[in-house]
């Protein structure tokens, strides 16, 4: 590799990791999960800004990354001179609302394996339960929740951002699973319904983990107070226009948990 550490900084993190697999373990040590991240579109130099480390840890991380890429040379580290930064504000009210909706979606995802394991579409009750799950995903997870993300939150940012595109791709993939689940119920195809239910659960859990742990804190840090206020008002308006009772949709999850004797606290972390 004749490229320097400084040149590597401008490359997508996935490409740098492919050339230097040893970097993965080091990033993992700092709880930066680029290796398993499905997005991987960040530039190498952006990883710290997105994941936010304490200044000493940041310097330590870059020093060790540079040593792996160019052993024996003192590289120019991309450590930003930060003003003794004001502590980041806690999550803003609109972001908290999205995170609260995530808890219900995660609770639903957590009972899916139990539902899938016992699934028998010849039973009327199972068909009704799966279709109620489809209803929950379509109206609560997708229209109500992803609607706020796509139509409100993401609009405050550059729509070309790869990480936002990756989130939209996940939303679309979720919708495809839902269509397949519905078709599977109509065809009484246990195997297809099971497969797409489980795939949806894996997809949505990973999607929410990325949003809760990385994307939302990063977006929240960039929002001005005035934008937080506007977004909060827009969320209230979106909820006012929502034509279903969200409690009734949440109750579907709670009842399913009761049926499978699942502990909601564990599912919601």
Partner 1 sequence: MNFQGCPGSRMMDMRRPAADGAPAAAPGSTPSQLRQWPVQLHLISPMAPYYQGADVVLTADCVAYALGGYHAEHLKGKAIAIACPKLDDGQDVYVEKIRSWFDDAKINTLTVMIMEVPCCRGLSALARRALESAARKVPVKEVVVGLDGTIRQSEWLGA
| Residues forming the site for partner 1 (CB under 8 A) | 84, 86-94, 96, 225-226, 228-230, 232-233, 236
Q: Considering CB distances under 5 to 8 angstroms, the limit depending on partner class, which of Fe ion, partner 1, none binds residue 96?
A: partner 1
Residue listed under structure tokens 């320097």:
4
- 101 or 170: whose CB is closer to partner 1? 101
Count the site residues for Fe ion by CB under 5 A: 3
Q: Considering CB distances under 5 to 8 angstroms, the limit depending on partner class, which of partner 1, Fe ion, none binds residue 101?
A: none
| Residue 30 DSSP label | T
Determine contact, residues 148/162, Cβ cutoff 8 Å.
no
The interface with Fe ion within residues 201-260 (CB under 5 A) comprises 211
- 41 or 230: whose CB is closer to partner 1? 230
User: Which residues neighbour 19 within 8 Å (Cβ) at sequence distance 6 or greater?
Assistant: 1
For the bound state, the minimum distance from the C-beta of residue 74 to Fe ion, rounded and expressed in Å, comes to 42
For the bound state, the minimum distance from the C-beta of residue 138 to Fe ion, rounded and expressed in Å, comes to 15
Rounded to an integer, what distance in angstroms lies between the CA atom of residue 246 and that of residue 249?
5
- 165 or 234: whose CB is closer to partner 1? 234
Binding mask 142-171 for Fe ion (x = CB under 5 A): -------x-----------------x----
**CA dist 249 → 86, 133, 145, 229, 253 (Å):** 40, 9, 12, 27, 7
Rounded to an integer, what distance in angstroms lies between the CA atom of residue 137 and that of residue 152?
19
Rounded to an integer, what distance in angstroms lies between the CA atom of residue 13 and that of residue 18?
9
Residues of this chain that interact with Fe ion (CB under 5 A) are 149, 167, 211
């Amino acid at each position: 590799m004749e490229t320097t550490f400084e040149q590597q900084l401008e490359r997508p993190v996935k490409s740098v990791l492919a050339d230097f697999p040893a970097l993965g373990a080091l990033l993992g040590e700092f709880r930066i999960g680029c290796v398993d991240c499905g997005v991987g579109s960040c530039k190498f130099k952006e990883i710290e800004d997105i994941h936010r480390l304490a200044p000493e840890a940041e310097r330590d991380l870059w020093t060790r990354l540079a040593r792996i890429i160019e052993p024996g040379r003192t590289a120019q580290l991309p450590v930003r001179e930060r003003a003794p930064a004001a502590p980041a504000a806690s999550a803003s009210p609109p972001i908290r609302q999205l995170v609260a909706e995530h808890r219900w979606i995660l609770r639903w995802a957590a009972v899916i394996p139990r539902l899938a394991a016992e699934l028998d579409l010849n039973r009327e009750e199972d068909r009704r339960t799966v279709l109620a799950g489809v209803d929950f995903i379509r109206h609560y997870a997708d229209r109500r929740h992803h609607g706020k993300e796509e139509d409100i939150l993401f609009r405050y940012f550059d729509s070309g951002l790869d990480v936002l595109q990756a989130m939209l791709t996940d939303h679309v993939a979720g919708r495809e699973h839902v269509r397949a689940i519905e078709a599977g119920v109509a065809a009484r195809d246990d195997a297809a319904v099971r497969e797409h239910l489980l795939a949806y659960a894996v997809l949505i859990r990973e999607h929410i983990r990325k949003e809760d742990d990385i994307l939302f804190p990063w977006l929240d840090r960039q929002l001005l107070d005035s934008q937080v206020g506007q977004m909060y008002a827009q969320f209230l308006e979106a909820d006012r226009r929502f034509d279903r009772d969200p409690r009734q949709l949440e109750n579907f999850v709670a009842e399913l948990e009761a049926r499978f004797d699942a502990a909601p606290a564990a599912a919601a972390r």
